[in-house]
A and B are shown apart, each in its own frame.
Chain A
Amino acid sequence: MVDQVIFHFFAALAVISAVLVVTRRNVVQSAIFLITALLATAGIFLQLHAEFLFIVQVILYAGGIMVLFVFVIMLINLDVSLHQVQFNRQWWLGLLLALVVGAQLVLAIVIGESKVSFGAPAPPTALEPSTQLVGHVLFGEYMLPFEIASILLLVAMIGAVVMAKKKI
Chain B
Amino acid sequence: MLPIHVYLFLSLILFTIGAIGVVTRRNVIIILMSIELMLNAVNINLVAFSRLVGSAEGHAFAIFIITDAAAEAAVGLGIIIAFFRNRETLLGDEMDLMKW
Contact = CB atoms under 8 A, between A and B. Distances in A.
Interface residues of A, number: 87
A160 B77 CA distance: 8
Contacts of B21: 21-22
Contacts of B92: 88
Contacts, number: 232
Given A7-B6, A86-B25, A97 B33 contact: no
B78 A159 contact: yes
Nearest to A112: B5
B70 A18 contact: no
A41 B7 CA distance: 11
A153 to B, nearest CB: 6
B62 A48 contact: no
Contacts of B80: 72, 76
A50 B61 CA distance: 13
A21 B75 contact: no
A156 B25 CA distance: 25
A4 B51 CA distance: 16
